[in-house]
A and B are shown apart, each in its own frame.
Chain A
């Protein structure tokens, strides 16, 4: 391999990615026209990336079904927590909607308020479910307590906060 080929090799990846300046790109193209070794290497760069893409895509298809632990059931073996969290969310949502529909007209509750309350209730329920998952692990006792405290302080108006409070007691 010529010394010049070694210099070209340094630029070949950027050339393949289209990241070279026009002048460098022209220089590499001129060299490629006359050097079979570098042409082969460029072909290898392109083909290997293409094949890596096939491997990555196959792997991605395998992971598409995986949910974050709070929502999955098999691995953590605590399906009831997901159901409890969903129930809290449903009750909280129904409660907010009921209050919205039945409150006097002079009230200025906006859609933004409803959205925020739903978001808070959902967040609190999610954190509560996660804390309950962790509560099975004795080493996580302090973390769980602090998590309950956090829910009570951050989402005081939610049903999850009431439940977290009772858990703390």
Chain B
């Protein structure tokens, strides 16, 4: 099936990752149904959940949850999605875009519960750098690594202490590449309120570094 999708879509296989294949599969299924003379229907919430799993993982990671907490969050989100799809079947079908926003909203709210309990960003900078060195085989001098570790630790602590009203916008904007309007729709804020929170969050992170000795 993958090869058919790629041929119809006109893209080369090596440029298509799992994420794109998931998205294309959902669109393709809808198009096939339409081609077969059926009513053009939106993919179900569970289909959207499968296709958008990469994005939810990214949000959870951005919120700094541990692997086991991440697993719990995804489990809760999928159960809520199941219940929602049951409720949704009795009313008008929402659009795919609505489903995506709903999933992001539920995921963000669930992650914020963990953030309020201070169960986020618990992995120390030294662990992060160790893993980074193992995977990327970085070859920086020892003294420079020490400075980076210190700075990384400052940012990690700042992220951990960041108010939840500021954490979710900064993650959605800078790690999930959503714009202020999209973030506002998900968090029930105006785009200007989102921009204001982004400024505040960025300043907290930057000033945290400056106050504790960032080199110019």
The chain A residues found within 8 Å of chain B, CB to CB, are: 9-10, 13-14, 16, 36, 39-41, 43-45, 47-49, 51-66, 68-70, 72, 75-76, 110-113, 115-116, 119, 123, 126-127, 130, 134, 143, 146-147, 150, 154
Contacts and interface: CB of A to CB of B under 8 A. Distances in A.
Contacts of A72: 71
Interface in B56-75: 57-58, 60-62, 64-67, 70-72, 74-75
B203 interface: yes
Contacts of A58: 123, 128, 131-132
Given A54-B152, A68-B50, A48 B67 contact: no
Interface in B155-211: 155-156, 158-159, 170-171, 174-175, 195, 198-199, 202-203, 205-210
Contact of A130 (B57, B82, B207): B82
Interface stretch (B9-17, B29-37, B94-102): B29-37
Nearest to A131: B82
B202 A54 contact: no
A56 B167 CA distance: 12
Given A69-B74, A112-B32, A49 B46 contact: no
Given A40-B216, A55-B121, A60 B202 contact: no
A55 B53 contact: no
Contact of B78 (A43, A59, A68): A68
B57 A66 contact: yes
A38 to B, nearest CB: 11
A150 B86 contact: yes
Interface string B130-148: 0110010000000000001
A interface secondary structure, majority: helix
Nearest to A153: B89
A59 to B, nearest CB: 4
Given A43-B214, A44-B210, A75-B75, A54 B203 contact: no
Given A45-B206, A58-B132, A134 B46 contact: no
A44 B209 contact: yes
B109 interface: no
B214 A47 contact: yes
B83 interface: yes
Which are the 7 A-B pairs with shortest beta-carbon distances?
A44-B206, A112-B36, A60-B61, A48-B205, A59-B61, A51-B155, A45-B206
Nearest to A74: B71
A154 B89 CA distance: 9
A67 to B, nearest CB: 8
Q: Considering residues B50, B75, B158, B171, which has the most beta carbons from chain A within 10 angstroms of its beta carbon? A: B75
A56 B120 CA distance: 11
A123 B33 contact: no
A39 B86 contact: no
Contacts of B135: 61
A164 to B, nearest CB: 13
A56 B214 contact: no
Contact of A48 (B32, B35, B50, B155): B155
Given A47-B209, A49-B205, A62 B174 contact: no
Nearest to A39: B216
Contacts of B199: 10, 13-14
B114 interface: no
B32 A55 contact: no
B47 interface: yes
